[in-house]
């Protein structure tokens, strides 16, 4: 690290030539900020900088041996198809080509006119090192650059020998950076959403992990609560983190499984969770990208994969939910009424993906229901309620006070520190679905590849022949830019795919196989204790209470409930707030329709009869016989009855950029 702080100028630099075009020179510089590509051609200069934050990984390769029918010295007009890179020791390398190739994989943020206005394009930069007359010397140069790039990506000090002429220990340094990472644990639900999570992971996530040289162990869930019991029973510390592939349901299982461990505090602290959206809602995946201003809608799977590979553990609030029969922890939302009814009753339409919510919203709008009950809540400290009546908009319900929040003459004790709120943002969600496969092909992925081809073609349109000079020569500089519409991906060494069944040896899994939970099976829930009165005890007088008929009561601690539902635009991953939305009886179907249409942009908070209140805890007591409805926690159905919800700030951690 000391070398990087005192060093002035680029860490590494090299001059490369385009042999097929006269007077074209590339001066490539590697700095702690990124990779600078300066093109000098016919007196003009054009520079492009690829940020380190956008570089995913790099690897050294060698050209593949050509078939006997082709001539090494033959100059082909379609040179792009001639380069077939292989691993150094694959047995297929071209021994006559002394060049070493450094592939640098980057996902650059580009402007895009449609929808969100931005997207990430995959860019492959290939540097061809053939400055020496021996392959070993050229590969040593390429390895220098590779190790330096990898160290910058990981924000670790670059070995002194890389920045000097002393390159005797490069191979040892290469082994050091390649073997210092644990694997990821991947838990995949093959039945989430439309049921294509397995194919999506293999085709679209594995290539990104391969480019970043991150290995993993894949386990496919076999039944309900499989993931929950897996993280509860297994030694999860052998992995660097948990990647869940599926919908919000499997995230719920993993988090609650970790909180059922006796060492729950250590598990939540040391094992971050990454989310790959494969379900119908995918609220957490969207919220993570929204909090980091990433263009999620253009390619949700890619953006979520980059959040895992490039991200770091970030704190995330959870809430403790207590019902008459169980205690659980929630990461997304708790709901009663309209939205919960849509979520549960639309399960019969799961095969159509996220569109099931839209279809069932129309049905519930036609048959609008109301529910009787009582709601108690503890507003965020520092706020007071004024004119809390039907028809008052969210912006008028709460006013900032310099004193403590007061109700009925009682003082409120400050529980959580003050948090800043952000205004409602414009819509960046247009009912996209990650499973867009027109005619069996992934539209999102094709678009990204096409734009990459155009971008790289405009920047680096020229190739060099891959023939090698058989005569010894002095040190030269060389450049090669590989442009390929189709990306070649390589399997990860050490990664394993496991589909656990009863026949698997228990000893190979570190214990017994995960069996389905028996009915009425009770597992002790650990986690932080409540600081509130128990569910059946009376609440303090300073809590606010509302009684009557409701259309819905829904609380969220993430910005999005699904891909296209921006429920709480001001919410962040760890802001210490439960955003409680209330709609009471008296709202018309037209106003309710306006509310539904506004959910994609956050403008639903401006609708009449809609009240959004930041709270730290609340209690819900539905009246028996007051309307047949559903209560959900993170989209999962729970017993219909009283429940108490309490915020647990920054309890979990997720991988985010």
- C-beta neighbour count of 408 within 10 angstroms: 8
Distance CA 157, CA 117 (A): 36
Q: Catalytic annotation on 248?
A: yes
**Cα–chain center distance at 328:** 24
Task: Single out the catalytic residue among 248, 341, 343, 432.
Answer: 248
Chain centre to alpha carbon of residue 600: 20
User: How would you classify the pairing of strands 241-246 and 273-277?
Assistant: parallel
Numbers of helices and strands, H then E, in the chain: 16, 25
Contacts for 181 with CB less than 8 Å, ≥ 6 apart: 214, 215, 240
The HSE-up count of residue 35 (CA atoms within 13 Å, CB side) is 31
The secondary structure of residue 64, as a DSSP letter, is B
DSSP 573-612: TTSS-EEEEEEETT--HHHHHHHHHHTTTTGGGGSTTEEE
Residues 6+ apart with CB under 8 A from 441: none
Radius of gyration of the chain from its Cα atoms, rounded to whole angstroms: 28
Which residues does residue 315 pair with via DSSP β-bridges, in sequence order? 653
Which of 211, 224, 221, 222 lies closest to 244 in space, CA to CA?
Answer: 221
Which tokens belong to 540?
Answer: 């303090």
Residue 591 has which token pair?
């106003």
- Could you give phi then psi for residue 425, rounded to 5 degrees? -95, 160
Q: Are 632 and 335 in contact (CB under 8 A)?
A: yes
DSSP states along 375-429 = EEEEEPTTEEE-S--TT--HHHHEEE-SS---BTTB-----S------PPPPP--
Residue 299 in tokens: 């390619």
CB-count burial class (<10 Å; 0-12, 13-18, 19+) for 73:
exposed
At 112, phi and psi to the nearest 5?
A: -145, 130
> What end-to-end distance do the CA atoms of the chain give, in Å?
22
Q: Residues with Cβ < 8 Å from 139, sequence gap 6 or more? A: 60, 62, 88, 100, 129
Residue 36 CA to residue 42 CA, distance in Å, equals 20
Between the alpha carbon of residue 255 and those of residues 217, 219, 328, 498, the distances in Å are 19, 17, 10, 21
Active site amino acids: 248
């Amino acid at each position: 690290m000391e070398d990087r702080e005192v060093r002035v100028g680029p860490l590494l630099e090299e001059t490369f030539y385009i042999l097929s075009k006269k007077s074209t020179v590339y001066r490539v510089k590697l700095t702690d900020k990124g990779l600078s590509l300066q093109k000098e051609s016919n007196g003009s200069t054009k520079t492009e900088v690829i940020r380190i934050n956008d570089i995913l990984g790099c690897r050294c390769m060698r050209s593949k041996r050509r078939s006997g029918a082709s001539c090494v010295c033959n100059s082909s007009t379609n040179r792009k198809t001639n380069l077939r890179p292989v691993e150094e020791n694959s047995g297929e390398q071209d021994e006559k080509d002394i060049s070493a190739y450094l592939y640098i994989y980057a996902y650059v943020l580009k402007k895009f006119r449609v929808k969100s206005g931005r997207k990430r394009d995959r860019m492959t930069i290939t540097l061809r090192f053939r400055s020496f007359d021996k392959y070993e010397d050229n590969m040593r140069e390429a390895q220098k650059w590779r190790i330096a790039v990898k160290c910058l990506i990981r924000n670790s000090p670059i070995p002194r020998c890389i920045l000097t002429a002393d390159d005797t220990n490069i191979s040892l340094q290469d082994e050091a950076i390649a073997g210092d990472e644990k694997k990821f644990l991947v838990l995949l639900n093959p039945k989430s959403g439309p049921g294509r999570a397995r194919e999506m992971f293999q085709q679209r996530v594995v290539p990104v992990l391969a480019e970043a040289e991150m290995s993993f162990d894949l386990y496919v869930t076999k039944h309900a609560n499989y993931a929950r019991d897996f993280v509860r029973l297994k030694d999860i510390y052998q992995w660097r983190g948990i990647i869940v592939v599926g919908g919000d349901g499997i995230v719920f299982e993993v988090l609650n499984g970790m909180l059922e461990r006796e060492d729950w505090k250590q598990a939540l602290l040391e094992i971050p969770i990454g989310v790959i959206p494969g379900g119908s809602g995918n609220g957490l995946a969207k919220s993570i990208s929204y909090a980091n201003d990433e263009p999620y809608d253009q390619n949700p799977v890619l953006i979520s994969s980059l959040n895992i590979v490039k991200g770091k553990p970030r704190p995330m609030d959870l809430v403790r939910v207590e019902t008459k029969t169980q205690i659980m922890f929630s990461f997304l939302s708790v709901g009663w009424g309209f939205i919960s009814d849509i979520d549960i009753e639309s399960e019969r339409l799961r095969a159509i993906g996220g569109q099931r919510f839209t279809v069932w919203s129309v049905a519930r709008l036609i048959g609008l229901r109301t529910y009787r009950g009582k709601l108690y809540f503890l507003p965020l400290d520092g706020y007071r309620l004024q004119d809390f009546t039907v028809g008052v908009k969210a912006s008028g319900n709460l006013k900032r006070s310099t004193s403590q929040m007061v109700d009925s003459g009682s003082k409120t004790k400050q529980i959580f520190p003050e948090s800043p709120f952000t205004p409602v943002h414009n819509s960046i969600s247009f009912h996209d679905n990650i499973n867009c496969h027109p005619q069996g092909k992934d539209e999102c992925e094709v678009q990204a590849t096409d734009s990459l081809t155009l971008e790289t073609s405009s920047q680096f349109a020229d190739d060099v022949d891959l023939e090698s000079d058989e005569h010894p020569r002095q040190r030269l500089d060389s450049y090669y830019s590989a442009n390929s519409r189709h990306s070649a991906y390589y399997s990860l060494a050490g990664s394993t795919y496991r589909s656990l069944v009863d026949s698997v040896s228990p000893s190979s899994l570190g214990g017994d196989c995960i069996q389905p939970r028996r009915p009425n099976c009770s597992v002790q829930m650990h986690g932080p204790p409540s600081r509130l009165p128990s569910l059946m005890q009376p609440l303090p007088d300073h809590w606010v209470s509302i009684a009557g008929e409701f259309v819905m009561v829904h609380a969220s601690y993430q910005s999005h409930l699904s891909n296209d539902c921006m429920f709480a635009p001001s919410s962040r991953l760890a802001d210490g707030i439960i955003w409680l939305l209330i709609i009471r009886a008296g709202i018309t179907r037209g106003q309710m329709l306006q509310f539904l249409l506004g959910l994609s942009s956050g403008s639903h908070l401006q609708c009449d009869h809609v009240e959004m209140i930041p709270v730290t805890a609340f209690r819900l007591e539905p009246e028996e016989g007051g309307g047949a409805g559903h209560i959900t926690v993170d989209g999962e159905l729970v017993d219909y009855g009283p429940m108490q919800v309490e915020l647990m700030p920054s309890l979990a951690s997720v991988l985010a950029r």
